[in-house]
Amino acid sequence: MKAVTWHGKRDVRIDTVPDPKIEDPTDSIVRITTTGICGSDLHLYEVLGPFLSEGDILGHEPMGIVEEVGPGVTAIHPGQRVVIPFNISCGTCFMCNQGLHSQCETTQVRDQGMGAALFGFTKLYGQVPGGQAEYLRVPFGNTLPIPVPEGLPDERFVYLSDVLPTAWQAVEYAGIPNDGSVVVLGLGPIGDMSARIARHRGAQQVIGVDLVPERLARARLHGVDALDLRDHQNDLAEVIRGMTGGRGPDAVIDAVGMEAHGSPSAKLAQQMAGLLPAAVAAPLMQHAGVDRLNAFYLAIDIVRRGGTISVIGVYGGMADPLPMLTIFDKQIQLRMGQANVRRWVPDILPLLTDGDPLGVDGFATHTLPLDQAPQAYEMFQKKTDGAVKILLQP
């Protein structure tokens, strides 16, 4: 089969690789019909190369048609349409029963000290072949795949794999009061959808911050007060406080993560780490802390006293410097973590089958054939041609 594979920094290719096979009685094989490129994939494309091996299959936002199931699978059948969550969870362990599927005890990557395995990511998360491919082996066929109805296009459902539950959890963790206010830092796919969900769930004031014109324009179409970071390099916090009664917003969602603008020293550290051999760079990045933390620092400054910061952007360092005195003094509540995809599906799925209140139809800016993945990654990384969300179709 054809698959998108990693070969180095800014080097992804279409390779021919062996078709996946049933390895366990509860496995299934899914023929991929649509798969997304995630902002987290750009971390692999740019920063996290030391945790990858040449030829790793990328992608963790797939959906498709069940082709084959193992003898222990009874919940799905060949020919059925399913979405595959990005985190690999058994659905039956203690953590899954708590709704913490990203901490699944069956798939925890214990040799790395990490939570549940992920499709198409790094050694830190199990190095499991991903879904930017023609076929995908999906374990836990009775509990992991999400059956979705026929009749509506893939774009209506494919975001159940990551974007929708990640954004839903970001808003849930933000704890926005009824008729409250929230600032969303970063209006890429996750931030954009977080803003839409916050409005849908009753936030009175949603302020978004970005510096890409296309992202700002998209957010404004959905009722977001979008601020261009380029116009507020030195006064963003004061401007936002002025928009929120002088106190700051009830909550801030950090949808940026480790590659924030405005962090020149950390950017240099990331670039230097990328020049080192993987055996040296990996522990440096994992333990020394080379995240670009400007967005998180902004969140701490912006949020009102007693407010909540919800971090959904991916960070990677273990020893990043944090202003703990300020966090403590402002009595900030802080919640974060990988999205527990299966936990939020019952809340989200009705919004996809009964109208389209979140605007998932048309959410993608580009839909391209799988064999154009290298160009798609470059376009997404450089933010050219108005690229905000790209879907690939094998």
Q: Mind giving me the DSSP string for 323-380?
A: -HHHHHHTT-EEEE-S--HHHHHHHHHHHHHS--TT--TT--SEEEEGGGHHHHHHHH
- Give the whole-angstrom CA distance, residue 205 versus residue 43: 31
Q: What is the pLDDT of residues 276-321, one digit of tens each?
A: 455 544 554 544 444 567 888 999 999 999 999 999 987 765 555 7
Rounded to two decimals, the pTM is 0.90
Helix and strand element counts for the chain (H, E)? 13, 15
Residues 309 and 375 in one domain: no
Residues 327 and 356 in one domain: no
- pLDDT (0 to 100) of residue 320: 59
- pLDDT (0 to 100) of residue 149: 96
Residue 196 vs residues 205, 206, 366: alpha-carbon distances, Å: 11, 9, 20
Residues 221 and 304 in one domain: yes
Residues 378 and 319 in one domain: no
- Give the whole-angstrom CA distance, residue 333 versus residue 44: 30
List the beta bridge partners of residue 184: 208, 253
CATH of the domain at 6: 3.90.180.10
- 81-83 vs 146-147, strand pairing mode: antiparallel
- Domain range for 382 is 2-162+340-393
Residues 368 and 256 in one domain: no
All residues at 6 or more sequence positions from 339 whose CB lies less than 8 Å from its CB, including other chains: 86, 87, 102, 162, 165, 166, 168, 169, 312
Could you give the number of structural domains in the chain?
Answer: 2
Considering 316, 336, 356, which residue would you say is the last residue of a domain? 336
Helices 294-302 and 236-243, interaxial angle, to 10°?
A: 40
Residues 263 and 356 in one domain: no
Residues 253 and 346 in one domain: no
Residues 259 and 317 in one domain: yes
- 308-311 vs 251-254, strand pairing mode: parallel
- pLDDT (0 to 100) of residue 78: 98
Considering 336, 354, 378, which residue would you say is the last residue of a domain? 336
Residues 344 and 332 in one domain: no
Residues 68 and 125 in one domain: yes
Residue 171 vs residues 112, 160, 336, 340, 381: alpha-carbon distances, Å: 29, 16, 11, 13, 26
Q: What is the pLDDT of residues 81-91, one digit of tens each?
A: 999 999 999 99
Residues 137 and 236 in one domain: no
- Give the whole-angstrom CA distance, residue 184 versus residue 255: 7
Considering 297, 317, 336, which residue would you say is the last residue of a domain? 336
Q: Which residue ranges in the chain fall short of pLDDT 50?
A: 260-276, 280-281, 284, 286-290
- pLDDT (0 to 100) of residue 271: 47
